[in-house]
Structure 1
Amino acid sequence: MIELYTDSSPNGFKITIALEELGLPYTLRHVRIEQGENRQADFLRLNPHGRIPVLVDHETGITLFESAAILLYLAEKTGRLLPTLPQTRWQAMQWLLFHASSVGPLIGQRVHFELESGEKNPAAIERYRQLSNAAFAVLDQRLASHAYLAGEEYSIADIAHFGWSHIARIIDFDFSAFTHLSAWHERVASRPAVRKGVSLPAPATGA
């Protein structure tokens, strides 16, 4: 049995989407970050960093945090959502890591400075707007000639990026000028597993 500890966040949605795409049975454990449940001792034993998501696979005895690691684990466990041909397989991993090292952290910082920080810092807001738009431009260029980030095959790289593009839409971080990225977003958003995944454990809001 798989247990997923998560909340309604971009990183959490990546894993609910993947599990729904793969059709793996799992038990959802809602960790309410706004109530500080991610700082309770039981959760910190699973992830000392106090972040969601955390996946516990009781069948294999493996516990993982970090969404990119969980996505790779699920793909390896099932033999799905990661291309088998070396060239496209490494493209998927490359774009997954681009998300983990660049896109996710950049949008996360933009969220902090633009929406969450009580004291506005115009220089930081402008910096992270520019950096996130530059990352969007890189994705847009890639998607101008490929249906998905690894090529023509939907993969965990798309799931990772969609977690944050979904939130960007909700909180009005406009990327409509990037037409190929926008078309890709709609393509991924139309998948039934994606529609269900972003509703678990609850839909995100712009609040």
Structure 2
Amino acid sequence: MYTLFYAPTPNGKKITLMLEALDVPYQVIPINIRKGDQFLPSFLAISPNNRIPALIDHDTGIGIFESGTILTYLAEKHGKFLPANGSARYVVLQWLHWQIGGLGPMAGQNHHFNHYAAEIVPYGIKRYTEETARLYGVLNKQLADKTYIAGEEYTIADMAIYPWITLYEHQKQDISQFPHIARYLQMMAARDDVQRGMQKYADFDWETSLTESQLQGLIEQNLQR
């Protein structure tokens, strides 16, 4: 059993994709990042960088933050979606870290300057829209002769990258310029486990926030299951 601290962002969806693919029991605690739930002491005790997702493994009592670490931990614990050794392992890990260090931060800045900045900043819009396009080009080339991102098997690299590129319109990207990504998006969307992972908590309540006592209670309740 796992407890997942979650909001329906690309980083949160990485972990629901993994948990649904593993078909293991888990409970979700909603963390409303628009209302400041991520700054509650009980959450910070698990995720000191005040970011979702975070995970508690009921079997070990281990709490983990940072999406890439959570994916790697789950893959290694269950022996799935990450080769145990050899060059194939590092192909997966390099694309996982490509997302963490490149696509995620650049697309995130793209979202900010295109949609959320308090003022229009043409330089920021141009820089991050173009950098997102460059990264899409890198990924499109990688997918030209592969079924999945790291080869012919579904891995944690796909779980990390897919939720971000589903937002291509939000990122001002013309998907017709990236035909291999377009093919990949259709294939991924057809997977039952991907559908479940992407739709988890689709009715997330962005209007309600938690108090510290409520969050403590949810954690204690989940750990008793």
TM norm structure 1? 0.93
8 Å contact from structure 2 (residues 16, 200) kept in 1: yes
- The CA distance in 2 between the partners of 1:203 and 1:144, in whole Å, is 36
Where 1:108 maps in the other structure, the secondary structure is helix
Shift of 1:173: 4.0
Range with greater deviation from structure 2 (124-133 or 185-194): 185-194
Q: Which residue of 1 aligns with 2:128?
A: 128
8 Å contact from structure 2 (residues 92, 150) kept in 1: yes
- The CA distance in 1 between the partners of 2:91 and 2:58, in whole Å, is 31
8 Å contact from structure 2 (residues 12, 53) kept in 1: yes
Shift of 1:203: 6.1
Q: Which residue of 2 aligns with 1:100?
A: 100
Percent identical pairs in the alignment equals 39
Range with greater deviation from structure 2 (183-192 or 72-81): 183-192
Gaps of 5+ in 2: 205-225
Aligned CA distance change for structure 1 residues 146 and 17 (closer, same or farther; 3 Å)? same
Q: Which residue of 2 aligns with 1:82?
A: 82
Structure 2 counterpart of 1:137, one-letter code: G
- The CA distance in 2 between the partners of 1:133 and 1:47, in whole Å, is 31
Structure 1 counterpart of 2:164, one-letter code: W
Q: Which residue of 2 aligns with 1:18?
A: 18
Q: Which residue of 1 aligns with 2:70?
A: 70
Within-5 A mapping of 1:151-190: 151-169=151-169, 173-190=173-190
Alignment of 1:137 onto 2:172 = no
- The CA distance in 1 between the partners of 2:123 and 2:101, in whole Å, is 22
8 Å contact from structure 1 (residues 136, 175) kept in 2: no
How many residues are paired up? Answer: 204
- The CA distance in 1 between the partners of 2:158 and 2:23, in whole Å, is 17
Aligned CA distance change for structure 1 residues 162 and 27 (closer, same or farther; 3 Å)? same
- The CA distance in 1 between the partners of 2:67 and 2:176, in whole Å, is 26
Q: Could you say what the CA RMSD is over the residues aligned between the two structures, in angstroms?
A: 1.6
Gaps of 5+ in 1: none
Structure 2 counterpart of 1:133, one-letter code: A
Structure 2 counterpart of 1:4, one-letter code: L
